C-alpha cells in the first residue's frame, strides 16, 4: 500500500498539502488515507487535509495545492504580488505578509487562516471588477503554479484599503517603480473598477509619477463618480481628481 503514497510524494514533493478528494481521484481512498495517518506517512492538517509527516509546507505551496487540487481561485495580490516581481522598497522585519484574495462566495476555510505558515496572512474578499479574472496571471515559484495579480491590478488592490491614508506614501514609492505598466490592461482595469476612490487615487499617483504609459490612458472612458473623496481629512485637496490626500504625498517630489 505504501507504493501509492510514495508515488504521490515522488511526483509532488513533500512540501505540499494533500486534499482528501484529490487523493481519492489519484486512487487512494479514504480508508487508505486513514491508514497512512496511522502508519506515520501522513499527518492530518484539518478535516480532509493532509501533509507528509514531519514536512514543512510553505504558504505559497499550500495556496498552489488549494487551487490546483480543488479547482479554486485564491489570488496572491497587492504588495505580495508586487514583491514577488521585485517591486518592494523595503525589507520587512520578521515574518513577511501575504495578501490573499478570493471572491466573497468562495471564502478560504477557517483552518487555512488559522494554520501557522511561514508568512502572515492578510486575507480579503474582493469584488472590484465584474470580471474577476481581469489582470490575473499564472506564475511559477519554486516549482509551484500560483495565481497572482498583475502589477497593474496589484497596485489597485493596494489602493483599495479602508485606511489607505496610512500607507499611501509607501504605495506611491511602489508606484514609482512601475515604469512598464501596460496601458491597455490599465485602461481595462480602470473602466471595470467599481471603486471611485481607487480610480481617482490611481490616476493621481500615475500622473504624479509622470510615466509614458500614463499618457496613453483615456480617462474619458473612466467613470470617476461625483462628490469629494476625503482620503485624509487634514491633507491637501487635489481639484482635478476631487480628492483630499495626505500632505506628505502631495508635497513629495
Query: Higher-confidence residue: 138 or 93?
Result: 138
The model's confidence at residue 162, banded by pLDDT at 50, 70 and 90, is confident
Q: How confident is the model over 222-246, as pLDDT tens digits?
A: 999 999 999 998 899 999 999 999 9
pLDDT number for residue 1: 57
Question: In this model, does residue 188 exceed pLDDT 70?
Answer: yes
In the predicted model, what is the mean pLDDT of residues 91-102? Answer: 87
Dihedral pair phi/psi, residue 27, rounded to 5°: 100, 10
pLDDT number for residue 163: 87
In the predicted model, what is the mean pLDDT of residues 11-40? Answer: 96
pLDDT number for residue 91: 64
Residues in the chain: 253
Q: Which residues of 131-142 are buried (b: 16+ CB within 10 A; e: fewer)?
A: ebebbbeeeeee
Nearest-angstrom CA–CA distance, 123 and 150: 18
pTM greater than the 0.85 cutoff? yes
The model's confidence at residue 128, banded by pLDDT at 50, 70 and 90, is very high
Nearest-angstrom CA–CA distance, 209 and 131: 28
Q: 221, 146, 132, 159: which is closest to 184 by C-alpha?
A: 221
50 to 61, 66, 105, 221, 239: CA distances (angstroms):
13, 12, 24, 49, 55
Question: In this model, does residue 94 exceed pLDDT 90?
Answer: no
Strands (E), 68-197: 75-76, 97-102, 120-125, 136-141, 144-149
The model's confidence at residue 93, banded by pLDDT at 50, 70 and 90, is confident
In the predicted model, what is the mean pLDDT of residues 204-223? Answer: 95
Question: In this model, does residue 142 exceed pLDDT 90?
Answer: no
Q: Which pairing describes strands 75-76 and 97-102: parallel, antiparallel, or unpaired?
A: antiparallel
In the predicted model, what is the mean pLDDT of residues 126-154? Answer: 94
Cα 83 to the chain's mean position, in Å? Answer: 11
In the predicted model, what is the mean pLDDT of residues 147-160? Answer: 97
Bridge partners of 129? 193
pLDDT number for residue 54: 94
In the predicted model, what is the mean pLDDT of residues 76-86? Answer: 95
Q: Which helix (H) or strand (E) holds 208?
A: helix 196-209
> Nearest 5°: CA angle at 90, between 138 and 244?
90
- Convert 109-144 into a string of H (helix), E (strand) and C (coil): CHHHHHCCCCCEEEEEECCCECCCCCCEEEEEECCE
CB 248 within 8 A of CB 169: yes
Q: Alpha-carbon torsion 68, 74, 77, 79, what sign?
A: negative
Nearest-angstrom CA–CA distance, 242 and 247: 15
Nearest-angstrom CA–CA distance, 190 and 188: 6
Dihedral angle over CA of 253, 162, 154, 15, nearest 10: 130
The model's confidence at residue 140, banded by pLDDT at 50, 70 and 90, is very high
Rounded percentage of the chain residues whose pLDDT exceeds 70: 98
The model's confidence at residue 92, banded by pLDDT at 50, 70 and 90, is low
CB 164 within 8 A of CB 249: no
The model's confidence at residue 90, banded by pLDDT at 50, 70 and 90, is low
The model's confidence at residue 135, banded by pLDDT at 50, 70 and 90, is very high
Amino acid at each position: 500500500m505504501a507504493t501509492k503514497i510514495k508515488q504521490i510524494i515522488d511526483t509532488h514533493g513533500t512540501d505540499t498539502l494533500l486534499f482528501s478528494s484529490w487523493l481519492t481521484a489519484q486512487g487512494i481512498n479514504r480508508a487508505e488515507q486513514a491508514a497512512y495517518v496511522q502508519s506515520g506517512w501522513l499527518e492530518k492538517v484539518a478535516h480532509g487535509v493532509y501533509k507528509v509527516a514531519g514536512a514543512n509546507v510553505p504558504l505559497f505551496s499550500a495556496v498552489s495545492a488549494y487551487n490546483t487540487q480543488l479547482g479554486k481561485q485564491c489570488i496572491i495580490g497587492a504588495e505580495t504580488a508586487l514583491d514577488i516581481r521585485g517591486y518592494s522598497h523595503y525589507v520587512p522585519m520578521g515574518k513577511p505578509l501575504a495578501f490573499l484574495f478570493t471572491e466573497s462566495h468562495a471564502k478560504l476555510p477557517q483552518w487555512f487562516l488559522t494554520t501557522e505558515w511561514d508568512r502572515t496572512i492578510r486575507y480579503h474578499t474582493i469584488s472590484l471588477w465584474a470580471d474577476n479574472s481581469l489582470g490575473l496571471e499564472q506564475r511559477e515559484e519554486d516549482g509551484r503554479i500560483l495565481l497572482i495579480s498583475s502589477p497593474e491590478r496589484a497596485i489597485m488592490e493596494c489602493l483599495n484599503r479602508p485606511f489607505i491614508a496610512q500607507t499611501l506614501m509607501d504605495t506611491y514609492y511602489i508606484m514609482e517603480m512601475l515604469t512598464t505598466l501596460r496601458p491597455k490592461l490599465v485602461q481595462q482595469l480602470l473602466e471595470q473598477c467599481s471603486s471611485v476612490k481607487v480610480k481617482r487615487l490611481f490616476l493621481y499617483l500615475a500622473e504624479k509619477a509622470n510615466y509614458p504609459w500614463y499618457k496613453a490612458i483615456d480617462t474619458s472612458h473612466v467613470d470617476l463618480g461625483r462628490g469629494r473623496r476625503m482620503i485624509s481629512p487634514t491633507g491637501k485637496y487635489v481639484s482635478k481628481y476631487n480628492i483630499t490626500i495626505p500632505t506628505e504625498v502631495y508635497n513629495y517630489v
